[in-house]
Amino acid sequence: MSSYRSVFQPGLFAGKVAIVTGGGSGIERCTAHELAALGAAVAIVGRRCEKLDAVRAEIEAVGGVCSTHICDIREEDAVRATITQVLARHGRIDGLVNNAGGQFPSPLSAISAKGWDAVVRNNLTGGFLMARECMTQWMGAAASAGPLPSEPPTPSAGGHGTPRPGADINGGAIVNIIADIWGDMPGMGHSGAARAGMLNLTETAALEWAPIRVNAVAPGWIASSGMDQYPPAMRETIRGMKTLVPLQRLGTESEVSAAIVFLLSPAAAFISGACLRIDGAAPNAKRIWPEVGTGGSTEAFDGFHLATTPKVLQG
């Protein structure tokens, strides 16, 4: 069976543990596969056990290690319990990918307080709770724990070692997935506000929580299964998005995952409080410069062996 074709060194995350929220589909599923392919034990978090179990089976089929954790990241007690469960299962947490989120298209004038709150809790509050619990339950102890001893941790049943807070002198790394928020986000104002808040949270946490590294990735228009969740009225808009991108195409899930993996890796050891855009320069298109690109593009990178084209982009 084929496996993930990552550009990163095999075994890069051997012995490490990474949490991926929303790991049951889309970019999140792709990221979980790549981290597992690079040796990490992956804990995927979401609200639907069927989707999580399917991804776990995919990862295990190619020799990866994956556990599933049902959690509504908007609920504080549930998040606290989930991080405790991950530590009990795997013994440590080296990376958190805050990928879960969701929104619905609507002009600002039509968004109710309930709808606004639901999106903000999904895209901002939940990410904060996950990051805070990873920090307080494990990563934060690294600031005072000192270097690893020469001997490996004692194995525990079903896990990767006995929990010892601060077992990694680097303190761990958090990557928050936001969105292409620069300028504005018409039709998605609730999501834009929440994602902008997540960027500010990233910058603040990078200061307050150092040496834990906290960064953000901002995907633009990515050909992912999430595109099929929007109503039929948006189909033509989605199909025409590539013409608004200077690179004249949509991004792939693998291109976002690669950015996340880099920010989690030792190569990014001096990067914190930063935001990496994955958008083909779409925000740089200006009204005073009507030509969007020259018609050429870059070759898309797609290392995900299970990637499929969204239905809305087929045909």
User: What DSSP assignment string belongs to 99-151?
Assistant: -------B-GGG--HHHHHHHHIIIIIHHHHHHHHHHHHTGGGHHHH-SPPSS
- The answer, yes or no, to whether residue 275 has pLDDT greater than 70, is yes
More confident residue, 174 or 295: 174
DSSP state of 17: E
The answer to the question of residue 28 being in a domain is yes
The answer to the question of residue 10 being in a domain is no
- Looking at every residue in the chain, the average pLDDT score rounds to 87
What CATH number does residue 21 fall under?
Answer: 3.40.50.720
pTM: 0.87
16-20, 46-50, 239-243, 300-304: range with highest mean pLDDT: 16-20
- Structurally, how many domains does the chain consist of? 1
Among 3-17, 94-108, 262-276, 287-301, which stretch is predicted with the lowest mean pLDDT? 287-301
* Cis peptide leading into residue 211 (ω within 30°): yes
Residues in the chain: 315
pLDDT at 309 (0 to 100): 83
The answer to the question of residue 167 being in a domain is yes
Q: CB–CB of 118/187 below 8 Å?
A: no
- In this prediction, residues 162-167 reach a mean pLDDT of 44
The answer to the question of residue 176 being in a domain is yes
The answer to the question of residue 266 being in a domain is yes
The answer to the question of residue 11 being in a domain is no
Please enumerate in sequence order all residues whose Cβ is within 8 A of that of 34, keeping only pairs 6 or more positions apart, or say none: 4, 6, 8, 254, 257, 258, 261, 303, 304
Quote the distance between the C-alpha of residue 290 and its chain's center.
33
pLDDT band at 11; cut points 50, 70, 90:
very high
The answer to the question of residue 2 being in a domain is no
Angle between helices 126-137 and 76-90 (to 10 degrees): 40
- The answer, yes or no, to whether residue 104 has pLDDT greater than 90, is no
> What would the pLDDT profile of 198-221 be if each residue is shown by its tens digit?
999 999 999 999 999 999 999 999
More confident residue, 141 or 177: 177
Q: Which domain holds residue 89?
A: 17-313
- The answer, yes or no, to whether residue 84 has pLDDT greater than 50, is yes
Q: Percent of the chain at pLDDT above 90?
A: 59
The answer to the question of residue 106 being in a domain is yes
